[in-house]
A = this chain, B = another copy of it.
């Protein structure tokens, strides 16, 4: 695979001198147009030492307007990074739409280094590569352009480069203490890279191998590829952008009416026994017992560094807030965070929809409670048509992959759908209108959502079908009786934590 990048490509100086001003003008022009485009451009530099990764990134900063370029190089993760899933540090650096990011030693670096050092087996290596491919896939599906450059030098060429630098007193510093050590592992390194490139070169995020010996050649090769990629991305944007509001993607679309009715009639929510109640007389004792359990379990989890992520979804007025407060009431305020999801900020809107959830992942040993969550993608965004059908359909896989990464990192995920019947909701809405301090809770939107009860039912049913996984199962909570619901939530959480702690 690399032979073709060890042939000694060179670009003549006069060609370079005459062509580069044109290329720079074109790159600048592309960058200017990109600023208003609905996608970011992510450029990865990987490859062998001395093949010009860092230099090329610097040069691109020089050729274009650096104000709109984010350049990031990664070293060993910090403790805060180690306390989160592996890809967290890259998620937090993702550029907004319209910008270019240059990433050095990014998400391929540690898998390849670990494989070269034989700290992981090939199957483990493949698993990491698949994780990376799914990550890239989520970004490109969202419109991002990803370019991956493997900057290459043959073993002999690398040696020549090091020797030349060592002889020059002004360049000697470029040969670091790792340089020769890496050089001796050249073959292993290239073998691992070969596997990585094969496994993650997709149509959407292809690798491009660039011969790095000649500075002029590699600079022009990378610059040209970047220019063309931006141009292709711009050409892809429909003229109608900013997109007109989409028509709601009616759930069940594509099913015949009979099948659709069947889906609606046989859904997971209707099978719940909504008559379940908890006697008020027993409430206080049950509450204190479960809260006491939860408090002790969380203290153990804190000691062991095991984090818990809670997801609360449910109908308007189902009692999510009340259930959450019964949990937080048992905890020290330093041990939890409640993240109430409302409209995204502009920094959030300018990125993949999962970005805003990644940024809220907590350090080890904490409980993070999402009051509404990433499931908005397949609930409200689906029903209201904010997400196109292909977007919310993709959402199931993206969400499962996200939760797998959390679970793989050791995080416990507990997801609740708090269910109430349509009649009970009406009763609560009316009650809220009557009570002064509850009036703020009820908005015209709540009534609108109520009219789409059937659509939401189908969406919930499909959400449970597709995202209730072994690592992150849904718990459906019968919520008509608030006391019953709150105790069920507390007890479920405590049971799951207990089980998780036993395993650790």
Contact = CB atoms under 8 A, between A and B. Distances in A.
A434 to B, nearest CB: 12
A332 interface: yes
B437 A58 contact: no
A171 B73 contact: no
Interface in A132-153: none
Interface stretch (A21-29, A459-467, A482-490): A21-29
A346 B363 CA distance: 26
A338 B172 contact: no
B346 A345 contact: yes
Contacts of A340: 66-67
Interface stretch (A117-125, A235-243, A271-279, A288-296): A288-296
A173 B298 CA distance: 11
Contact of A61 (B72, B104, B328, B363): B328
A328 B285 contact: no
A334 interface: yes
Contact of A54 (B53, B80, B332, B437): B332
B328 A363 contact: no
A65 interface: yes
Contacts of A321: 62, 66
Given A78-B79, A170-B288, A332-B54, A436 B73 contact: no
Contacts of A81: 80
Nearest to A26: B437
Contacts of A58: 325, 328-329, 333
Contacts of A440: 28, 32, 65
Contact of A347 (B32, B55, B325, B346): B346
B104 A24 contact: no
A396 B288 CA distance: 54
Interface string A430-444: 000001110111000
A302 B73 CA distance: 14
A334 B78 contact: no
B289 A104 contact: no
A342 interface: yes
A66 B327 CA distance: 14
Nearest to A170: B288
A436 to B, nearest CB: 4
A371 interface: yes
Contacts of A24: 436-437
Contacts of A285: 170
A98 to B, nearest CB: 12
A123 B269 CA distance: 64
B25 A437 contact: yes
A287 to B, nearest CB: 9
A267 interface: no
Given A28-B437, A58-B329, A334 B105 contact: yes
Interface in A55-77: 55, 57-58, 61-63, 65-67, 71-75
A78 B363 contact: yes
A208 interface: no
Given A288-B171, A345-B347, A338 B436 contact: no
B79 A334 contact: no
A437 B170 contact: no
Contact of A170 (B292, B332, B337): B292
8 contacts: A21-B436, A62-B321, A66-B338, A66-B340, A105-B333, A105-B334, A170-B288, A173-B292
